[in-house]
Amino acid sequence: MSKEKKKVGRPKFKIDYEAVRKLAAIMCTQEEIASFLGCSVDTLQRDETFCGLYKEGRETGKMSLRRMQFKHAEKNPQMAMFLGKVYLKQRENAPEGNEERINEVKEFLVKVKEVANDGTSGDKQQTSWIYKKC
């Protein structure tokens, strides 16, 4: 008689991978998917197939969302501005890196105020320098 090895412990949980793909595509969290499947998040995270499908599903969801945003941006200027800020790094503020130019403008404004406070037009050279900086 041969001895059969008796399996010890809990039976392996079978993950519905198609459900995982669909739930991940609508941006469900791992906690939500675990709750739907009736297992723990740890059980899902130990499964390599789950991890791959989860990432793939999330990326599909992101692409779908992006596609809808771009379609919506055709009719909605606010959405177009939002997408420009997110994807093209467009900003409403002055871009960084112009500190030198900003300092030049500040110096120019200080000199203009000085000339205005003196009540004189200043000599011709000083005035021409101010206008050249603009």
Q: What letter does residue 123 receive in the DSSP assignment?
A: -
Map residue 5 onto helix, strand or coil.
coil
| 128 found inside a domain | yes
What was the pLDDT predicted at 58? 92
d(CA 114, CA 129): 14
Q: State the average pLDDT over residues 29-47.
A: 95
**122 compared with 115, residue with greater pLDDT:** 115
**132 compared with 71, residue with greater pLDDT:** 71
My answer on whether 31 and 83 are in the same domain is yes
My answer on whether 109 and 82 are in the same domain is no
Q: State the average pLDDT over residues 4-19.
A: 87
Number of domains forming the structure of the chain: 2
d(CA 10, CA 13): 9
| 93 found inside a domain | no
| Whether the predicted model's global pTM rises above the 0.75 cut | no
pLDDT at 128 over 60: no
Residue 51 belongs to what domain range? 17-87
| 11 found inside a domain | no
d(CA 91, CA 86): 9
d(CA 114, CA 42): 70
